[in-house]
Chain A
Amino acid sequence: MTTDTPTRAPGGRLPRPARGAGLSHSAAPPRERDQRRPRATRAETLHAGAWWLWALGLATAASRTTNPLLLGLLVSVAGYVVAARRTDAPWARSYGAFLKLGLAVIGIRLVFAFALGSPIPGTHTLVTLPEVPLPDWAQGVRIGGRVHAEGLVFALYDGLKLAALLVCVGAANALANPARLLKSLPGALYEAGVAVVVAMTFAPNLVSDVQRLRAARRLRGRADRGPKALLQVGLPVLEGALERSVALAAAMDARGYGRTARVPRAVRHTTSVLTLGGLVGVCAGTYGLLADAGAGYGTPVLVAGLAAALAGLWLGGRRSARTRYRPDRWGVRAWLVSASGAAVAALMVWANGYAPAALHPPAVPLTAPELPLWPAASILLGLLPAFVAPAPGPRSPEEEEQ
């Protein structure tokens, strides 16, 4: 079995291999022009933080508009980048789940608007459902009744916005390895972070356990479908998960997880004081900012609190003796990717100033939404990562063979 891929000479065309492995590459347009971009090997992988900044930028943009055309464009931009740049790793497969979740959100929002009515006044009645009479104390709540087109359109726009946010988060999830992101955390938070990542890897394990045990039910001559089957495998699945976590904890302990360095007493005490004091400062500062009376002292207290908390974290990191193996480097490509996300967000916020109507098409009266030219163009900036981020490595050796 050969795992090595054909090497690509810089600037040169890939010589077409005799066994036809090149077909799958040339079929996908973005990969055809990949020759000047490095493969996403360990050394060249984009910093996970850059992907998250890019995705958060798109999400911010999505939260600033309800125009379905712009939202659709945002989702397509995120989708295109994911399709072009995601790897074959397990976490990269979560994108589909986020898409489905987004569709479910839209569906639920529409069903609610349909059944429970909408606060939006409307004139275009689609259907009139029988209204359920409710007692007096439930005033303001309506079940059934007239369904307006305006209400449904409003719900659709709203749901679409939420779905676009979810898709952006999903894109970051599919593109960035969650474990890599951890490596960028301060040392003091690392152990908590490992716990979170380990917990996240348990979900796929649980799913495969459920599948295996349901299949085993079939061997006992019991139905392997239906809610009853799912309930009956629940206990064994939980037992299995518990056993696995104990085994993993033992393995981690035996490999030195949680070893601490000796630090002087004074440093330990300073750490506690700084962290606690910082947190109190943050709370007080936030309260000051939100309450009318304390607008004057709010900001400085918040800033001081944050600084103290960060110093506490930094000092706390000295207790952990960990070092980091090949942390991701923040290079030019990472700057470009995160900047494209930030640019999309900033331009969209700015667009809210010059074209608020186009960004928020009214549901009342019903009008067809237009595609505002400049905001749409600014969203297209989000496509930049599809061209500058390192291309994913070969999928799997078997597929390369085919």
Chain B
Amino acid sequence: MIRFEQVSVTYGDDTAAPALDGVDLTVPEGELCLLVGPSGVGKSTLLGTVSGLVPHFTGGTLRGRVTVAGRDTRTHRPRELADVVGTVGQDPLAHFVTDTVEDELAYGMESLGVAPAVMRRRVEETLDLLGLAGLRDRPLATLSGGQQQRVAIGSVLTTHPKVLVLDEPTSALDPGAAEEVLAVLQRLVHDLGTTVLMAEHRLERVVQYADQVILLPGPGEAPVTGTPAGMMAISPVRPPVVSLGRLAGWSPLPLSVRDARRRAASLKERLPETEAALPKPRRESGKAGSEPAEVTHLSVRHGRTAALRDITLTAAPGEIIAVMGRNGAGKSTLLRSLVGMHRPNGGSVRVGGVTPHRTAPAELLRHVGLVPQEPRDLLYADTVGAECAAADEDAGAEPGTCRALVSELLPGVPDATHPRDLSEGQRLALALAVVLAARPPLLLLDEPTRGLDYAAKERLVEILRGLAAEGHAIVMATHDVELAAELAHRVVVIAEGEVVADGPTAEVVVASPAFAPQVAKILAPLPWLTVPQVRAALEEAR
């Protein structure tokens, strides 16, 4: 269905290193093909060549040949491929042209000139297929993240494309919404025979559905293709279930929790029955009234809807708290209330003894720092060096404080780099350094692992552990159950603005199937949550 023949892509002049090189592979019809690899190896470029957006839209030079359903992308512009390729990106809002669900579903067909009667029928079919019938008249801006992503997929499905290209379709979604989207993809592959080519960082969610895995090992290196199990054995990026399989020496490697659980009996026997390696918070209970964060009976309303209702939460120094819950549950509102962006409608918020929304920003900086969902929002300067100098000045810190932090978090980035040229993980580290320049006792992170590959995530985990050990209290809002399991001492689950669960990580995440990490699901009822814990336990038992 998709054929790559000796494809290489170079951006800029000919002397630049190719973003993609030596791609020579075939994606057969009706397969779900997963594209994996660390950040910055050209996954998005490879996907772009299928829809023709590379090079027609992005510029750059494409050598070799890409054919989709027999059409050469060099001679066909993206709009001429629109009836065979459907493309969905990470941010559905950037994809929408119209304003209501039904119009959005019809838009592609209108462009292709499909007859009105056919359009009507296909819209109804797609509404049912994706479970959107109840939302048909809703404005797109009012939908939740998972619903928007389903509409985005539906909007390209109505033209009945033979190929569906998806770039990180579940990265921004909570576990439940991600399941929704993946179930739809499964159905398309099984029922309609659509060929799906998908890149995704969160392998734990998708790898078990793939028929074929294309691994891009490094920038400019030729891709390797194979079965999911075979590829996971050599891949530098892998989900926890695969890591556990490698640790236990299982072959072939399990890809799903179910596979792994069947083989886990022997591993369970080898594991000691003590609760050895679970993380313990370093509780240095401060004096009452000066804890890094104290939220009591907080209520916040946005217009007529209650965003938070009666939330009570305390963070002690050195404690890491993960706030979880579906998209739009009020996680970000809670974090923003802690930095005074929302005035409480009831209850109180105190960070380090001050009330955030009544404190001047320059003073508040010394008590609390927030790294927002889009770290780029925090960065204004043209170079990393200038950004650091500005951060020192804002924080009233010694000149060079921020730069030292950057070197520690992000080794090998020269001062002259433009923040825009950094990768997602590097930008997050820079924003973190900027916030940390003021040494706030309370650090807040909103969705820190969005767009990070496993290596960047591991670095982040190390950094945050170090900070907690130094006595920073950390509160992070996240959908990433693996991150929460690995890092957090406590998990708070929020639903519709109310706390529905609050307790030690092990208790909370294991109690709920949606929030349980893979290792906990495999080894239940044993208390281990992550691969490093299991590794440590095995070494101890030996």
List residues of A whose CB falls within 8 A of some B CB.
Answer: 3-4, 41-42, 88-91, 177, 179, 194, 198, 201, 212-213, 215-224, 232, 235-236, 244, 247-259, 261, 321-326, 393, 396, 398-399, 402
Known contacts: A4-B134, A255-B111. The answer to whether A224 contacts B361 by CB under 8 A is yes
Contacts of A235 in B (CB 8 A): 380
23 contacts between A and B (CB under 8 A): A3-B135, A89-B99, A90-B141, A198-B97, A219-B435, A220-B394, A220-B434, A221-B364, A222-B394, A247-B95, A249-B57, A251-B95, A253-B53, A253-B56, A254-B53, A254-B87, A255-B79, A256-B159, A259-B80, A259-B112, A323-B113, A323-B116, A396-B142
**Could you say which of A91, A219, A223, A257 contacts B79, with CB atoms under 8 Å apart?**
A257
Number of interface residues of B (CB under 8 A): 73
Is B79 touching A253 in the complex (CB atoms < 8 A)?
A: yes
CA distance A88 to B156 in the complex (A): 27
Is A221 touching B361 in the complex (CB atoms < 8 A)?
A: yes
CB of B82 closer than 8 Å to a CB of A: yes
CB distance from B301 to the nearest CB of A (A): 12
Contacts of B123 in A (CB 8 A): 325
CA distance A88 to B377 in the complex (A): 30
Contacts of B81 in A (CB 8 A): 254
CB of B94 closer than 8 Å to a CB of A: yes
CA distance A249 to B58 in the complex (A): 11
CB of B415 closer than 8 Å to a CB of A: no
CB distance from A93 to the nearest CB of B (A): 11
CA distance A214 to B136 in the complex (A): 35
Is B83 touching A218 in the complex (CB atoms < 8 A)?
A: no
Is B112 touching A321 in the complex (CB atoms < 8 A)?
A: yes
CA distance A398 to B301 in the complex (A): 13
CB of B98 closer than 8 Å to a CB of A: yes
Which residues of chain B from 72 to 117 have a CB within 8 Å of any chain A CB?
77-83, 85, 87, 89, 91, 94-100, 102-103, 106-116
CB of B362 closer than 8 Å to a CB of A: yes
CB distance from A224 to the nearest CB of B (A): 6
**Could you say which of B78, B94, B340, B395 contacts A247, with CB atoms under 8 Å apart?**
B94
CA distance A249 to B91 in the complex (A): 14
CB of B283 closer than 8 Å to a CB of A: no
CB of B358 closer than 8 Å to a CB of A: no
Contacts of A256 in B (CB 8 A): 79, 82-83, 108, 111-112, 159
**Could you say which of B77, B103, B134, B336 contacts A179, with CB atoms under 8 Å apart?**
B103
CA distance A89 to B438 in the complex (A): 43
CB of B51 closer than 8 Å to a CB of A: yes
Is B102 touching A42 in the complex (CB atoms < 8 A)?
A: yes
Known contacts: A221-B394, A255-B97, A258-B79. The answer to whether A322 contacts B110 by CB under 8 A is yes
Known contacts: A325-B106, A396-B142. The answer to whether A3 contacts B79 by CB under 8 A is no
CB distance from B439 to the nearest CB of A (A): 12
Is A42 touching B137 in the complex (CB atoms < 8 A)?
A: yes
- Partner-contacting stretch, out of B221-229, B233-241, B365-373, B529-537: B365-373
Is A322 touching B141 in the complex (CB atoms < 8 A)?
A: no
Is A222 touching B113 in the complex (CB atoms < 8 A)?
A: no
Contacts of A236 in B (CB 8 A): 376-377, 380
Contacts of B341 in A (CB 8 A): 215, 218
CA distance A289 to B208 in the complex (A): 75
Q: For A4, A256, A259, A393, which residue has the most chain B Cβ atoms within 10 angstroms? A: A256
Is A254 touching B364 in the complex (CB atoms < 8 A)?
A: no
Q: Closest chain A residue to B98 by CB distance?
A: A179
CB of B274 closer than 8 Å to a CB of A: no
Is A223 touching B99 in the complex (CB atoms < 8 A)?
A: no
Known contacts: A220-B391, A221-B395. The answer to whether A213 contacts B112 by CB under 8 A is no
CB distance from A192 to the nearest CB of B (A): 15
CB distance from A237 to the nearest CB of B (A): 10
Contacts of B463 in A (CB 8 A): none
CA distance A254 to B156 in the complex (A): 9
Which residues of chain B from 297 to 323 have a CB within 8 Å of any chain A CB?
304-305
CB distance from B95 to the nearest CB of A (A): 4
Q: For B53, B81, B380, which residue has the most chain A Cβ atoms within 10 angstroms? A: B380
Contacts of B134 in A (CB 8 A): 3-4
CA distance A236 to B376 in the complex (A): 9
Known contacts: A261-B113, A324-B110, A326-B106. The answer to whether A216 contacts B372 by CB under 8 A is yes
CA distance A194 to B103 in the complex (A): 13
CA distance A204 to B134 in the complex (A): 26
CB distance from B458 to the nearest CB of A (A): 26
Q: Closest chain A residue to B83 by CB distance?
A: A256
Contacts of B108 in A (CB 8 A): 255-256
Is B361 touching A398 in the complex (CB atoms < 8 A)?
A: no
Known contacts: A256-B112, A321-B113, A325-B110. The answer to whether A251 contacts B97 by CB under 8 A is yes
Known contacts: A247-B89, A253-B57, A253-B77. The answer to whether A216 contacts B109 by CB under 8 A is no
**Could you say which of B97, B103, B120, B365 contacts A252, with CB atoms under 8 Å apart?**
B97
Is B99 touching A177 in the complex (CB atoms < 8 A)?
A: yes
Contacts of B82 in A (CB 8 A): 254-256, 259
Contacts of B80 in A (CB 8 A): 259
Is A179 touching B340 in the complex (CB atoms < 8 A)?
A: no
Is A248 touching B94 in the complex (CB atoms < 8 A)?
A: yes
Q: Closest chain A residue to B118 by CB distance?
A: A323
CB distance from A185 to the nearest CB of B (A): 13
Contacts of A393 in B (CB 8 A): 137
**Could you say which of B52, B89, B305 contacts A251, with CB atoms under 8 Å apart?**
B89
Q: Closest chain A residue to B105 by CB distance?
A: A325
CA distance A204 to B300 in the complex (A): 24
CB distance from B444 to the nearest CB of A (A): 9
Q: Closest chain B residue to A218 by CB distance?
A: B361
Contacts of A248 in B (CB 8 A): 94-95, 97
Contacts of A177 in B (CB 8 A): 99
CB of B119 closer than 8 Å to a CB of A: yes
Contacts of A89 in B (CB 8 A): 99-100, 139
Contacts of B394 in A (CB 8 A): 220-222
Known: A221-B361, A324-B110. 11 other contacts (CB 8 A): A212-B377, A222-B362, A247-B89, A253-B56, A253-B79, A254-B82, A255-B107, A255-B108, A259-B113, A261-B113, A326-B102
Q: Closest chain A residue to B372 by CB distance?
A: A216
Known contacts: A90-B141, A254-B51, A393-B137. The answer to whether A325 contacts B120 by CB under 8 A is yes
Is A325 touching B94 in the complex (CB atoms < 8 A)?
A: no
**Could you say which of A179, A194, A216, A247 contacts B378, with CB atoms under 8 Å apart?**
A216
Is B99 touching A257 in the complex (CB atoms < 8 A)?
A: no
CA distance A327 to B365 in the complex (A): 54
Contacts of B119 in A (CB 8 A): 323, 325
**Could you say which of A88, A90, A254 contacts B78, with CB atoms under 8 Å apart?**
A254
Is B109 touching A323 in the complex (CB atoms < 8 A)?
A: yes
CB distance from B387 to the nearest CB of A (A): 10
Q: Closest chain B residue to A40 by CB distance?
A: B137
CB of B203 closer than 8 Å to a CB of A: no
Known contacts: A253-B78, A254-B87. The answer to whether A322 contacts B137 by CB under 8 A is no
Contacts of A255 in B (CB 8 A): 79, 82, 97, 107-108, 111, 155-156, 159
Contacts of A224 in B (CB 8 A): 361
Is B53 touching A194 in the complex (CB atoms < 8 A)?
A: no
Q: For B51, B94, B340, B362, which residue has the most chain A Cβ atoms within 10 angstroms? A: B94
Contacts of A216 in B (CB 8 A): 372, 377-378
CA distance A263 to B392 in the complex (A): 64
CB of B339 closer than 8 Å to a CB of A: yes
Contacts of A213 in B (CB 8 A): 377
Contacts of A247 in B (CB 8 A): 89, 91, 94-95
Q: Closest chain B residue to A393 by CB distance?
A: B137
Contacts of B304 in A (CB 8 A): 399, 402
Is B87 touching A398 in the complex (CB atoms < 8 A)?
A: no
CA distance A369 to B402 in the complex (A): 70
Q: For B79, B390, B438, which residue has the most chain A Cβ atoms within 10 angstroms? A: B79
Task: Report the 10 A-B pairs with minimum CB-CB distance, sorted nearest first.
Answer: A256-B82, A256-B111, A325-B106, A321-B113, A221-B365, A216-B377, A247-B94, A221-B394, A255-B108, A251-B95
